[in-house]
Amino acid sequence: MNALPTRDRLPAHTAENREPLVLGIETSCDETGIGIVRGSTLLSNTIASSMDEHARYGGVVPEVAARAHLEALQPTIEAAVAEAGITLDEIDAVAVTSGPGLAGALMVGIGAAKALAVSLDKPLYAVNHLVGHIAADLLTGEDVEYPTIALLVSGGHTSLLLVRDLVSDVELLGETLDDAAGEAFDKVARILGLPYPGGPEIDRAAATGDPAAIRFPRGLSKASDLAEHRYDFSFSGLKTAVARWVEQDAARQAESGDAPAIPVPDVAASFREAVVDVLVTKALDACARYGVPRLLLGGGVIANRRLREVALERAAAAGVAVRIPPLSLCTDNGAMIAALAAQLIMSGHRPSTLAFGADSTLPVTEIQVDEVEAGEQTRDESAAVR
């Protein structure tokens, strides 16, 4: 039977009337994240990033990411356990990101999670990376209300979700049809001669620029787009528009006898404004259409100062409450994965089997992967019958 033991007795945390202690593993991209939570209480959130290695190539290299995870997992687990002040034997369950993400990177985390769960004789929960970003909000210590609209923006994903219930009802309203917002930041930074990662570099450059200097296009925002793609995003056209503007501006300067020089602050500020405008406009439109006065922001791109600023300003005017977890919980991390698994456990969900693998395109509607079916005997239960 491809399942970890769930036992024919009450789990320790249930028998002792306490919230489950869960260790979460996150390796979907370039950050090795290990987090430990007790229910919705954060005990540790340890991250090892391989960003510096990828910077040499101007972007994330899957093979480099996978190797970095292999090297970082054990020391990161040890650091997380030490920070939480527990031993591995004390945990009630192991959780791991099954997807979406880079297949090779995911496989490293999944392999480690399976080995850890089997060696410790603990149940394993394979969960969705994107839903994990929503679960990060639980770790702020504040009450969380549903339904909520969730805008998740990162280097690999840009998604707009309607979350009616974290563990059972997450609906995808729209997503990027090409480049994710974070990917667009990286590509435009390269056009402007800025280093990787592009998000913080463009943010810094834009601080002294004029966001109204150049009117760049807002993807999928025309009336003709809204019928089919009301909540979808597209940033490849914006990236192309920036490249064309820079090229044409250089030609204009050359014609006038000036040495070509990109007005980086104005281009960066105008590009950033176009991205932020689309993201916030569509998110608040979803709040209005579905009658949900709550908006959750998540993902690494939420570190962008202008995005947070505009979202808070416009949401306040629309009567929408905005929740933004601490930035340490917005980027990829293991704590959010542990938090999601803890909610699954407390909601009565059974563990995942050992049959699951990495799914680079896992849909957000699949919150938990390969849950043991009700009535299915696990290894220990089968042995008990014999």
Find the largest Cα–Cα distance for the chain: 89
153 has binding-site annotation: yes
- Sole residue written with tokens 């940033």: 235
- Sole residue written with tokens 């608040």: 284
156 has binding-site annotation: yes
Whole-Å CA distances, 209 to 92, 187, 206, 213:
51, 19, 5, 8
13 has binding-site annotation: no
Say which amino acid occupies 70.
Answer: L
Burial of 385 (0-12, 13-18, 19+ CB in 10 A): exposed
Alpha-carbon dihedral sign for residues 324, 327, 330, 333: negative
Element (H, E) at 125: strand 124-128
Q: How many residues does the chain have?
A: 386
298 has binding-site annotation: no
At 323, give phi and psi (nearest 5°): -115, 130
2 has binding-site annotation: no
Cα–Cα dist 206/267, whole Å: 8
257 has binding-site annotation: no
Cα–Cα dist 235/298, whole Å: 18
154 has binding-site annotation: yes
99 has binding-site annotation: no
Residues contacting 361, CB < 8 A, separation 6+ = 99, 100
Helices (H) and strands (E) in the chain, counts: 14, 11
Binding residues for substrate: 152-156, 186, 199, 203, 304
Binding residues for Fe cation: 129, 133, 332
Binding residues: 129, 133, 152-156, 186, 199, 203, 304, 332
